[in-house]
């Protein structure tokens, strides 16, 4: 995303007063300062953003699963409490016990190294805008909670709205789309039907940030492998190379062109994502995507293409799987999926309307 932004500024000669720096961050490393804050302040449970993030990510996990993910240390066996379902208070309690000491030490060290990296990137600044490929702004929530002396907000291409978390002041903004759900009358919200493609498009082939070490007096993340900046450049003929090619072709004062191109592009994107043909399904396939947050779990593109497989479970792009199956019922199945999304949108709008009451905005 940084590369695309820099190429856009270069091509259009538009001025920008913003200092841009790469930040080595992920939800995993962003949760550590807030966990550490809870430990250092002697709190009985985790703070709200950390609670929400870990509860969502480890809905069926044990305390041991969460401990392993956030500390990188496997818990000592022998205490059945490790195998209990994850609760924020339970995690904190075990981090404070002697048999959680190794993990607590690793957590403290990693939180300190990440905080040092962030402060090195910011220099004497206290205001930062995190630009992320994410969808919810969880990273910003966690950073703001763990490092309350900083003024951190977040810009996403697309923000999927979610119910407010008590105690969390979300300062995340979707630049192209902000919506609760896909809406058939808003072409741009089609990205919410297949977010993984946008994430895949902008994320270089580099590992997610998990750990930091000090090397020659500076903090280095596991992402910063030898030659990593070169791997940000796209492969020839790739989709991202096409993005950069378009941006490079923009001249000064491109608003008219971009406006027309964007309308056309969103309409085409919606058509392809919502009503894909078989070749669309192949072209937009992204392979394997990681769930991340310190886990090995992934979303995988099915190797066997069948309608049954497409309609079961939680695939990255159900419509694409239907198209790739080659089923003669492609059109009615896609129509049924579209109707189901429309019905879900209507149901959720009614439910939100009831919650907020008449005349009140859903969000400000």
Binding region for other proteins (CB under 8 A)? 14-15, 127, 129, 151, 153-155, 171, 173, 175, 185-188, 251-256, 259-260
Of the pair 108, 155, the CB lying nearest other proteins is at 155
- Least distance between other proteins and beta carbon 255 (Å): 4
Neighbours of 294 (CB within 10 A): 22
Between 14 and 336, CB nearer to other proteins: 14
Q: Judged by CB, which is closer to other proteins: 81, or 186?
A: 186
Min dist. Cβ of residue 222 to other proteins (A) = 29
Handedness of CA 327, 305, 207, 139 (dihedral sign): positive
Residues 50, 156, 176, 362: what is their CA dihedral angle, to the nearest 10 degrees?
A: 20
- Minimum CB distance to other proteins, residue 11 (Å): 12
Minimum distance of other proteins from residue 232's CB (angstroms): 25
User: Cβ 256 to other proteins, closest distance in Å?
Assistant: 5
What Å distances lie between residue 27 and 30, 64, 273, CA to CA? Answer: 5, 18, 27
Residue 225 belongs to what H/E stretch? Answer: none
Least spacing, CB of residue 32 vs other proteins, in Å: 24
Backbone Cα Rg of the chain: 22
The number of helices, as runs of H, and strands, as runs of E, in the chain is: 14, 7
**Nearer to other proteins by C-beta: 187 or 198?**
187
Closest distance between other proteins and the C-beta of residue 169, in Å? 9
User: Which residue lies nearer to other proteins by CB, 105 or 356?
Assistant: 356
Q: Please, which residue, 157 or 223, has the CB nearer to other proteins?
A: 157
- Listed in sequence order, the DSSP H helices in 234-329 are 239-248, 255-274, 278-283, 307-311, 318-324
Measure the N-to-C terminal CA separation of the chain; round to a whole number of Å.
28
Q: Which residues of 144-179 are buried (b: 16+ CB within 10 A; e: fewer)?
A: bbbbeebebbbbbbbbbbeeebeebebbbebeebbb
CB 181 within 8 A of CB 174: no
Nearer to other proteins, 83 or 257 (CB): 257
């Amino acid at each position: 995303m940084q590369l695309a932004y820099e190429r856009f500024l270069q091509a259009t000669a538009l001025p920008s007063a913003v200092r841009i720096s790469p930040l080595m961050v992920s939800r995993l490393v962003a949760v550590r300062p807030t966990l550490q804050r809870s430990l250092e302040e002697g709190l009985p449970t985790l703070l709200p953003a950390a609670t929400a993030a870990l509860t969502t990510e480890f809905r069926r996990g044990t305390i041991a699963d969460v401990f392993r993910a956030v500390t990188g240390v496997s818990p000592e066996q022998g205490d059945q409490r490790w195998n209990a379902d994850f609760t924020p208070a339970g995690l904190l309690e075990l981090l404070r016990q002697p048999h959680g000491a190794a993990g607590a030490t690793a957590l403290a060290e990693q939180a300190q190294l990440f905080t040092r990296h962030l402060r090195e990137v910011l220099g004497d600044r206290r205001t930062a805008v995190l630009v992320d490929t994410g969808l919810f702004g969880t990273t910003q929530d966690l950073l703001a909670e763990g490092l309350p002396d900083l003024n951190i907000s977040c810009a996403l291409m697309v923000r999927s709205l979610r119910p407010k978390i008590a105690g969390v002041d979300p300062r995340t903004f979707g630049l192209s789309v902000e919506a609760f759900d896909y809406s058939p009358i808003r072409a741009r919200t089609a990205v919410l039907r297949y977010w993984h493609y946008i994430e895949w498009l902008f994320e270089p082939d580099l590992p997610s940030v998990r750990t930091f070490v000090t090397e020659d007096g500076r903090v280095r993340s596991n992402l910063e492998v030898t030659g990593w900046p070169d791997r940000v450049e796209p492969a020839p003929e790739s989709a991202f190379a096409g993005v950069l090619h378009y941006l490079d072709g923009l001249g000064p004062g491109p608003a008219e062109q971009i406006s027309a191109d964007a309308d056309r592009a969103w309409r085409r994107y919606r058509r392809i994502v919502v009503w894909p043909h078989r070749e669309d399904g192949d072209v937009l396939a992204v392979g394997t995507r990681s769930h991340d947050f310190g886990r090995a779990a992934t979303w995988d593109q099915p190797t066997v293409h069948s309608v049954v497989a497409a309609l079961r479970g939680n695939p990255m792009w159900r419509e694409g799987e239907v198209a790739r199956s080659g089923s003669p019922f492609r059109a009615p199945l896609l129509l049924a999926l579209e109707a189901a999304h429309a019905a879900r949108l209507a149901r959720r709008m009614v439910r939100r309307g009831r919650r907020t009451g008449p005349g009140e905005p859903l969000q400000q």
